[in-house]
Amino acid sequence: MKLVKANAEYIPFKDSTFDIVISFNSLDHVDDIDKTISEIKRVTKIGGLFLLITDCCHKSTFTEPQNFGWEVVEKFYPEFKTVLVKKLEKFGRKIYRSLEMNKEYDFNDNRKRYGLIVAKFIRN
């Protein structure tokens, strides 16, 4: 394994380098979400996987500047197709506890609150 320090908006690898790209609890921390998604698309091989876990539906903060909703999954189309998308309730600040609970987001509850997206994509 080789550790490479880089920004998500400028991934220093050639096109179609990786069989698997993973973004766990990081997509809402980038400066430019569209550029980051473009880079994810660029470095993932055709037939490769992209795995995503991200908070959504929260206010922007200094450390989490991106404020997006459930529709962020659509930003990966048409280059990716979804294999799995889960929309989960977020329990406090503990993203992995929310995964363990595996409770679907209740869209009938109109309170404003965080959600959690868990998705698996395959590169077309």
Q: What is the bridge-based pairing of β-strands 44-56 and 115-123?
A: antiparallel
The per-residue pLDDT of the chain, averaged, comes to 94
Pick the closest to residue 97 from 21, 25, 23 (CA basis). Answer: 25
Q: Residue type at 83?
A: V
Task: Give the per-residue pLDDT at 98.
Answer: 83
- Looking at per-residue confidence, does 112 or 32 come out higher? 32
Task: Give the per-residue pLDDT at 99.
Answer: 85
* H helices, E strands: number in the chain: 2, 4
Over residues 21-62, the pLDDT tens digits come to 999 999 999 999 999 999 999 999 999 999 999 999 988 989
Write down all domains in the chain, each with its CATH number in brackets.
18-123 (3.40.50.150)
Over residues 63-103, the pLDDT tens digits come to 899 999 999 999 999 999 999 999 999 887 777 788 888 99
